Structure 1
């Protein structure tokens, strides 16, 4: 994950998904530099001059959407900006995760601080106050179509500037008025264009994409580790991970995964034990991990690259270039991220799909020394049979969620906004798929650890051996049936807490074991 020392200058420094998360978690402090403040002041002055001159400019002295031809008087321009936040606050459904709402604030201030939106300095400072004091607005999850900006969620995000809406503050959901009573803050009077600048943008889509990039990256790394453990448990072949094979079809993700898994298997007594066995080749779920996991990594990389463009862009409308030039364009349209999010959603689903196949493979009892259903005394015991039912259900649910949201479009705004991205729906959906994927990987971790046990007293490589010990600290070997839901919950925590990643990193440093991968720079940072 990328890091910046001490502070991040909004509008000036380069923002990545990793840095955005660090700011959201208080690991980095966000500031507005004097350079950015100067740009913001100049942009606001241009807007003030437009209002004084009276020439019609969309959203400054005209109505919105199909009302773009309706002229607004100089005296009413401020009322217009307050009204837009209220009229567009039409979100429904459960609130989004607090961290996603905070990320929305962070991404919005990054865009506004570039000085092309006509926002007032005092408004930026108030948004920064909300970030630094963890007073995070409550934002409904549904209501955005992912174009014209994420209008509804962004409107709810900024209602507290007017003294309206609710916030989560000091672990309680309170009204903004209660927040003001506690802190002494007062409502802000929005100037010309400020309301439109606040709600025009892709920050709802992008904030979800930030979490998709972070969580999918964790799943990809853990899928490789768990897959390597399953190869050990089922005594699969290491040959499909030789670099000589992948240099002949050099996809970046494939090479990365093959190199990583081969490193994890290095020095394994288990692999040496069956080096002369008569099996010609393994089933695809073992043999084709570089091709399948690697393809998902390539999809992840594509989303990461596009997201970084978005995080450092101005997605407002209209854009204030200078005194002579304001442009009413379409930079608020979520299509660039919407399609990539759908691709990443499919990538996550496929990672779970092949994981479920490895779980099924482990239960068949076709690997020498590993009993059917991963338990010796079956009949009276069902063993790990039903855990695979759960992964089958999760994998199937994920397949149903993979229909691309960006393939749909419903006209809005009386036809003025006649093509929309639905990227907001895609972002929410992708996180649901990844949440299911974490559960599938947790169950594969349990089954791989169970199969791994039957290889004792043979040892694996240093990293996998230590990971197996770490799993056993939370979940014991099962020699008879028990409430496996309890094991699964512990496994999910291991996945979500990235325990096996931390263990792999610690051992690789302690034992000087290389996890070398040619493209580690691209695939290990975000």
Structure 2
């Protein structure tokens, strides 16, 4: 059985993907179990002593000055969950629900939250047995963490809410019964420990970052196919050009494209047909490379966050301190995911401009709209329209969420991050980028056919054959969305990247 061991400090994005998509099971390390128990002992001590500590013996937010008695602690925690379950809109996909649970488990495993080990084990059982809470996408301000969506996760733990189990939607209590899991009765600090954190925004962002790495490789492949369709000049990708600027992403993009195009008979050199290409061809390494560098930065930030303690208050067992701070504030992720949105949007921007060069005879020299019988046939005319619409939509979505804030909890929480909105927008943009790249690739292979294919590069020949296994050269007008969807399916499956890497080595 494939398994990821949880210790609160060494989870990777690759681990996240394996749990989210490949059904890896999770298990707490012995060390993390001991830390959880040690922190819980501090909570129990303070409750027994009736010490005034935020979130343990007090209310929440503006009610932090309201003292809660020992007898009321269970009611307090249940009320917290049911009152905070205010998420709205469509629910997250199951893979994101799994990721949310995983990240919350890892956060709690650090031993700074004060949850009981049996409660944490309940969440682990849900993840391992495939009980996936239905978590609405909207309703989080990103500080105090992702309160509303995480509350929907906890609803199922206490036998409320709704879940998906084995592909079927049902009540939370029915899902638990079918999976042979007992609901939990939360006690002091536990409700707050489960919902006060950044795990929803980070879950969405982590999967998006992982997918973005592969999507940038696909963008290099798409650009390479367009280079061949337009007899692009490869001289501009000479490593000497990029090494004197020294940005690693730019160097990597240029290297990728040269390796993909190696042995091509469809590309040219400087002065052979023309002296230089337009920016969207010539500057591809600079444009793609900047996004690669951005994604590398964001990936590092996400890897910090998935191993961070982000709830409040935090418990430090060695000194028996409980400190109320602000690690739930999503600003580090909000800025990162806004950056991710912009970096991805630019990939669609340049891809659509390359598509325009393919369909515009004044720019690329190919038959107008990539059809031999223009007028009778529209060819790829409206494919470019659709790409342009997606690019324009991305520009709206790329507006930073993190520059906005709105006070909440009677101005006790007077600056919030909007980090979950930033993550969701970045994921929506990525979906649009995939579609634009699919349109470019479909147009590029059509252009290659119209330009009398004289032999493609080592990498592009693989991409071409995979696309042509699913699509045919378009001689007469056809229903285009079906062809676009076939190309997008190839991108989602990552088979083009995988097959090229098998042949020429890992792309950067």
TM-score, normalised with respect to structure 1: 0.93
Residue in 2 that maps onto 1:436? 432
Q: Which stretches in structure 2 are left out of the alignment for 5+ residues? A: none
Moved more, 376-385 or 234-243: 376-385
Deviation readout 1:178-237 (Å, 9 max, x if unpaired): 224434433212121001000100001100111210221221110000101100110010
**1:17 is aligned to 2:17:** no
Instruction: State the distance in 2 between where 1:276 and 1:402 align.
Output: 39
User: How big is the shift at 1:162?
Assistant: 1.2
**Residues in 2 aligned to 1:210 and 1:313: alpha-carbon distance in whole angstroms:** 14
Q: Structure 1's 266 and 366: CA in aligned 2 closer, same or farther, altered over 3 A?
A: farther
Aligned equivalent of 1:170, options 155, 166, 186: 166
Deviation by residue 1:497-523 (Cα, 9 ceiling, x = unmatched)? 112112212332xxxxx55x7xx4xxx
Equivalent in the alignment of 1:196: 192
Residue 352 (structure 2) aligns with: 356
Give the equivalent residue in structure 2 for 1:295.
Answer: 290
1:258-407 to structure 2, matched below 5 A, reads: 258-271=254-267, 277-322=272-317, 324-366=320-362, 370-407=366-403
Query: Which residue of structure 2 aligns with residue 523 of structure 1?
Result: none
**Cα distance, 1:96 vs. partner?**
1.2
- Which residue of 481, 485, 500 maps to 2:481? 485
- How far, CA to CA, are the matches of 2:8 and 2:378 in structure 1? 60
Deviations 1:91-122 (A, max 9, x none): 11111111111100000000101111001111
Deviations 1:220-274 (A, max 9, x none): 11000010110011001001111111111111111110111111121112225x6
Deviation at 1:437, TM superposition (A): 0.7
Distance in 1 separating the partners of 2:437 and 2:22 = 29
8 Å Cα contact 2:248/2:289 also seen in 1: yes
- 2:204·2:423 contact (CA, 8 Å) conserved in 1? yes
Partner of 2:138 in structure 1?
142
User: Is the Cα contact below 8 Å between 2:358 and 2:364 reproduced in 1?
Assistant: no
Give me the whole-angstrom Cα distance separating, in 1, the residues matched to 2:9 and 2:147. Answer: 26
**Is the contact between residue 202 and residue 332 of structure 1 (CA under 8 Å) also seen in structure 2?**
yes
Range that drifts further, 177-186 or 27-36:
177-186
Distance 1:276 1:408 in 2: 50
Aligned to 1:473: 469
Q: Distance in 2 between matches of 1:184 and 1:16?
A: 30
Give the conservation status (yes or no) of the 8 Å contact 1:216–1:300: yes
How much has 1:433 moved relative to structure 2?
Answer: 0.7
Pairwise CA RMSD: 1.6
CA distance in 2, matches of 1:13, 1:60: 25
CA distance 1:359–1:132, shift in 2 (3 Å)? same
Structure-1 residue corresponding to 2:456: 460
Contact 1:409 1:420 in 2 (8 A): yes
Alignment of 1:54-69 (within 5 A): 54-69=50-65
Partners of 1:186 and 1:264 in 2: how far apart?
Answer: 54
Report the secondary structure of 2:326's partner residue: coil
> Which residue number in structure 2 is paired with residue 524 of structure 1?
none
Q: How many residues align?
A: 507
Separation in 2, partners of 1:475, 1:211: 29
Question: Following the alignment from structure 2 to structure 1, what is the Cα–Cα distance between the partners of residues 310 and 271?
Answer: 60
Say yes or no: does 1:506 pair with 2:502: yes
Q: Is the 8 Å Cα contact of residues 356 and 440 (structure 1) preserved in structure 2? A: yes
CA distance, structure 2, for counterparts of residue 359 and residue 18 of structure 1 = 33
**TM-score after normalising by structure 2:** 0.97
- Aligned partners of 2:142 and 2:220: how far apart in 1? 34
Deviation at 1:28, TM superposition (A): 3.0
C-alpha separation in 2, matches of 1:415 and 1:358: 49
Distance 2:6 2:344 in 1: 31
